């Protein structure tokens, strides 16, 4: 019983951890420790914050494996702190900044309202759905796009290697962010050409300028709610459907369907929720979709219902090394 009490009370204060983590992110503590350990006083001098308060925050984070405090009260990088740096491969700093931003934080504080009425509180708090709210709002849009690019880096190679692409053809990555996934796909398949469809403000920062894929890509400004370029061999919706409502998902799928030929394939790359033994990561992601968006992590059956409403059908579900699966889709 004592252990249960400690667990519940500790979990009730769980919000303090992401708050403390955000302090470390915003002050770039990990970056300041790159050249060696420092005390809280030294770090406070570098960052312009209150030294005793910073010491207490870093000591708390050390209990979670973010930093390590030695016997002379100097703080060291740990593996978990290392990936908060900006200058390392697979840095999660942009994603952690997004997940601890008020755009995610405030709707979580009103999760009870969401459960009562079935809709995210985001729209009520910020005056518009997330994607409308960040559009054209430079700092917020960049934060979200960089976070998605960071997350994609850890999974895109495994996804590309899990699908047997043909030797030639055209792939359109719909709302593909900065183009990291498309770049990886084209580099692994030298006979393919690619199109990155995105908002103009996102395309200005694309990452497709890579000698390995030179001459085989182009960008296109577009909105998958309105229209997508017709006649491609493959259309990709990666981490798109899961943060959309059923109604918006069907709208997107119908738009893609109208552009597809009978030979085209749509690849939906998302979590496909099993009926049992759901992983903790998929469960967390599902609650995040509930909290910030009006989406969900769907089962294969739920995805098939959406596809049917758009005159599409699932051909197969292909697992990848990570949490995502590839749902291969054809026109009916």
CA–CA separation, 205 and 225 (whole Å):
22
Strand 265-270 with 217-221, pairing: unpaired
The residue among 249, 201, 196 whose CA lies nearest residue 225 is 249
CA–CA separation, 295 and 288 (whole Å):
9
* Helix, strand, coil fractions of the chain, as percent rounded to 5: 50, 15, 35
User: Which residue do the tokens 């849009």 mark?
Assistant: 141
Between the alpha carbon of residue 208 and those of residues 144, 166, 176, 181, 212, the distances in Å are 19, 21, 11, 10, 10
The residue among 94, 197, 97 whose CA lies nearest residue 151 is 94
Cβ neighbours for 77, distance < 8 A, ≥ 6 positions apart = 30, 33, 34, 67, 68
Sign of the CA dihedral 12, 18, 24, 30?
A: positive
Residues noted as catalytic: 242
């Amino acid at each position: 019983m004592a252990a249960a009490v400690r667990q519940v009370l500790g979990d009730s204060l769980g919000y303090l951890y992401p708050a403390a983590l955000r302090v470390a992110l915003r002050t770039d503590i990990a970056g300041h420790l790159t050249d060696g350990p420092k005390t809280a006083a030294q770090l406070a001098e570098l960052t312009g914050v209150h030294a005793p308060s910073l010491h207490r925050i870093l000591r708390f984070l050390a209990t979670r494996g973010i930093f390590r405090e030695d016997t002379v009260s100097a703080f060291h990088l740990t593996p978990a702190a290392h990936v908060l740096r900006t200058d390392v491969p697979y840095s999660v700093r942009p994603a952690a900044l997004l997940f601890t931003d008020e755009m995610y934080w405030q709707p979580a504080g009103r999760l009870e309202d969401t459960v009562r009425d079935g809709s995210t509180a985001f729209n009520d708090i910020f005056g518009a759905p997330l994607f409308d709210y960040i559009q054209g709002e430079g700092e917020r849009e960049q934060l979200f796009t960089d976070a998605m690019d960071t997350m994609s880096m850890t999974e895109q190679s495994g996804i590309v290697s899990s699908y047997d692409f043909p030797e030639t053809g055209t792939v359109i990555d719909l709302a593909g962010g900065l183009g990291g996934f498309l770049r990886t796909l084209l580099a692994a398949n030298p006979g393919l050409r690619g199109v990155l469809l995105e908002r103009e403000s996102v395309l200005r920062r694309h990452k497709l300028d890579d000698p390995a894929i030179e001459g085989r890509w182009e960008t296109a400004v577009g909105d998958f709610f309105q229209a997508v370029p017709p006649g491609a061999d493959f259309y990709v919706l990666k981490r798109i459907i899961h943060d959309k409502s059923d109604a918006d998902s069907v709208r997107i799928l119908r738009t893609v369907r109208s552009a597809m030929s009978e030979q085209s394939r749509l690849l939906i790359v998302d979590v496909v929720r099993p009926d049992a033994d759901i992983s903790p990561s998929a469960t967390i992601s599902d609650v995040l979709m509930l909290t910030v968006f009006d989406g969900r992590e769907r089962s294969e059956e739920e995805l098939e219902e959406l596809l049917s409403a758009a005159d599409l059908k699932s051909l197969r579900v292909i697992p990848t090394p990570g949490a995502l699966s590839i749902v291969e889709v054809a026109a009916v």
